Each structure stands twice: as structure tokens, then as C-alpha cells.
Amino acid sequence: MTNERRVLVHPDQESLAGAVAARFITKTLDILDAQEIAHLSLTGGSMASAVLDAVWASPARTSLDWSRVHFWWSDERWLPDGDPERNDRQARDALLDRLEIPAEQVHAMPSADSGLDLDSAAASYAEDLARFGTDGLAHPVFDIAFLGVGPDGHIASLFPHRSGIRVTDRTVIPVRNSPKPPPERLSLTRPVINGSQRIWLVLAGADKASALGLALAGASRDEVPVAGIKGRRRTVFFIDQAAASEVPEELIAREY
């Protein structure tokens, strides 16, 4: 098995979401055949809800024992609980609240009305992660980590030319003055994300083409944070045709 980054292109956003959802269900079934519990990390952004909606719409979702799945997030917007812009709210609406999952297995990052300040919230999520650490790690090894990619190449809340992408001594950081609203956020750090078995980046739209092309052409992670992302076993970019225009042809596998 190769650990090279792969790029799979689908014709449009709808077929992309459906294909990723189908692969997610089958891969999670495989994972749960091999181990008792699966740890999955979710993301926010434009494609995240589309994929989770497609999971819900798939009849195959009933074959999964969701009570053996833990859900985490790679970043969160520092907003009150229930705010529609929160990444966890969007995932709950699309899928999680519709499934039978023990509440303690949905590991949402703290909210702005939790009574914690941003630094304590980061420390609190780090503690939650550490409870599931294995092999001396202070975090679980995610079996699948989903990531969106911003038009500037940011992943989670790790933005270009900011220190966050370089942090290696913590698992969770507070983010202030984010270039994308809201200004305050929480984010996993790169070592935690890259510790995942599989990283699945899902992105669509022409506004993502340039960042993706730069990342795959060897740009630095400071310039284009997604360039610094690589999972332990697999790193797959699931993209639509519109996002593919600057991807080197030899890296592309078309799924149609």
C-alpha cells in the first residue's frame, strides 16, 4: 500500500458528496470489523454538511453500528452552543442528531457560552483528547479525519502565514484574529491531524483550484497549510472537476 497523496475527481459537488458518503460508510464498516471502536474527526465548511447529508440519505447507513463510533472535530468557531455557524451544529443537523449515538461519544469542542475562556476551552478539549490517547500519544488516532480546504489553503483553523500550522507541542490551540470570521476559533494542531490513519480532504469549486494546485506542486505549509497534511496510511483529495483545473494531470484519477 502506498502512502502517496491521491486525487480523485468527480464531475460535480453532488456526485462528489455521494461518492465520499458511500466510501465513508464502507470504510467505517471495514474499520469496525477490525476493531471495537472507530474514532472519526469531522470538519466544517461547505462540503462537510453535503457529505453528512448524503450519508443520512444512503440506505447503507443502517448497516453501521453507530454506537461504536466516536466523533471529534478538527476545528470549531468560537460561538454560542447551537449557533448555526458552529461546525458541530451543522454536523448534528445533517447527521448526528438523527442517529443513535451515545451523547458522550460526540466530542464537540466547547462553545463561547460554556463559561470557559478560549485558552481554557483549548485545554479542556486537549484533556478530552488525552483520555483516548494510545501508544503514549495525548490524543486518539483518528481512523478517518475529514478536512475541508479554504480558498487560501487553510485546513481546520490553521491559516496561511500564521503560527498555528507550526505548533507541535500542543494538541489544541486557541486561534485569535482569524482571517475568516468568526475571529476566534479552536483548532487541532498539525501533528494530531497527521497522526490520523486516513485523511480525506473534500473540496469543491473553482475558488479552491489555486490553493490545491499550489499544495500539490510543493508549496510550503506556511504559505498553503494544506501542503503540510499527510495521514499515516492514506491521504486522499476528493474533489470536483471545478477544483481540479490546476492539479497536475499525472496525479488525477477520475472517478467517472
Ligand X SMILES: O=C1O[C@H](COP(=O)(O)O)[C@@H](O)[C@H](O)[C@H]1O
Contact footprint for ligand X (CB under 6 A) = 43-47, 75, 77, 87, 148, 150, 156-157, 180
Nearer to ligand X, 37 or 194 (CB): 194
Backbone angles phi, psi at 157, to 5 degrees: -115, 45
Q: Least distance to ligand X from the beta carbon of 100, Å?
A: 26
- Nearest distance from C-beta of residue 99 to ligand X, angstroms: 21
Residue 148 or residue 228: which is nearer to ligand X going by CB? 148
Please tell me the distance from the alpha carbon of residue 116 to that of residue 184, in angstroms, as a whole number.
13
The region that residue 207 occupies, defined by phi over 0 for left and psi between -120 and 50 for alpha, beta otherwise, is: alpha
**In whole angstroms, how close is the CB of 133 to ligand X at the nearest point?**
23
Instruction: State the minimum distance, in angstroms, from the CB of residue 78 to ligand X.
Output: 11
Backbone angles phi, psi at 41, to 5 degrees: -110, 130
Q: Coil, strand or helix: which one is 221?
A: coil
What three-state secondary structure class fits 168? Answer: coil
Of 64 and 94, nearer to ligand X (C-beta) is 94
Angle at 23 between CA 152 and CA 244, to 5 degrees: 35
Contact by Cβ (8 Å): 158, 192: no
CA distance 224 to 229: 10
Between 145 and 219, whose beta carbon lies closer to ligand X? 145
Could you tell me where the beta strands, DSSP code E, fall in 74-114? 75-77
- Which of 148, 164 has the CB closer to ligand X? 148
- In the complex, the smallest distance separating the C-beta of residue 188 from ligand X, rounded to whole angstroms, is 10
Nearest residue (CB) to ligand X, 75 versus 128: 75
Minimum distance of ligand X from residue 51's CB (angstroms): 11
210 forms beta bridges with none
Contact criterion met (CB below 8 Å) for 143 and 234:
no
